[in-house]
Amino acid sequence: MDILIDQDTLATRITSLGREIREAHGEDASIVAICVLKGSVLFFADLVRAIGGDVRLEFLGVSSYEGTSSTGEVRITHDLRTEIRGRHVVVVEDIVDTGLTLSFLLKALRVRDPASLTVAALLDKPSKRTVDVHADHVGFSIDDHFVIGYGLDLDEKYRNLPFVAIYRPGVG
Ligand code: IMP
């Protein structure tokens, strides 16, 4: 595998993303950060520390319906444990590819009436987008590669790599 984003580069960028998110909300704002399982777990853990201040952690499990991922039908497998009405919510995603998952999530969360709803994504693959959706805070915009590591998997493998790498079939 080829390392695309190494540990130091991840750490530096996430520190500034955290500052950016804190500044956008104000020093005293209470933020509900939503970790979209499982891909954003590692990014989430680093990002919430970089945001600092009052940040509440919530987890949302989603999975694509079998065989219909291209239609963007997504199912919530683990729901939030708290109400987000009137709260400042930041959805933390690993990667925005076609945008179908994010589009579904935003619709599902918007109806719960948060005070604000923004998105932080570690990676963005703009060339793959099929729906008009974007993250407000993006770590890195990347070309159309299948990437693994730092939470991202291939059949549940490689999530624990501390860097982001380009997956090369038949290697590693
Ligand atoms: P979307 O609905 O097409 O935007 O896809 C979003 C989800 O697909 C992400 O949250 C990832 O879990 C997965 N995904 C998309 N691209 C990659 C990749 O390059 N590596 C690993 N997972 C990916």
Residue 17 pLDDT > 70: yes
Cα within 13 Å of Cα(144), Cβ side: 5
Cα within 13 Å of Cα(143), Cβ side: 4
The minimum-distance atom of ligand 1 relative to the CA of 125 is 16
Amino acid (one-letter) located at 11: A
Other beta carbons within 10 Å of 103 = 17
How high does pLDDT run on average in the chain? Answer: 94
Residue 172 pLDDT > 70: no
Tell me what pLDDT residue 170 has.
77
How large a percentage of the chain has pLDDT more than 70? 94
Tell me what pLDDT residue 63 has.
86
Tell how many helices (H) and how many strands (E) occur in the chain. 3, 9
Lining ligand 1 with CB less than 6 A are 39, 93-102, 146-147, 152
Give residue 10's pLDDT band: very low, low, confident or very high (50, 70, 90).
very high
Q: Is the dihedral of CA 44, 25, 57, 119 positive or negative?
A: negative
Per-residue pLDDT tens for 126-140? 999 999 999 999 999
Grouping H, G, I as helix, E, B as strand and the rest as coil, residue 40 is coil
Amino acid (one-letter) located at 106: L
Per-residue pLDDT tens for 55-99? 999 999 998 765 544 566 789 999 999 999 999 999 999 999 999
Q: Which residues are catalytic?
A: 97
pTM here?
0.95
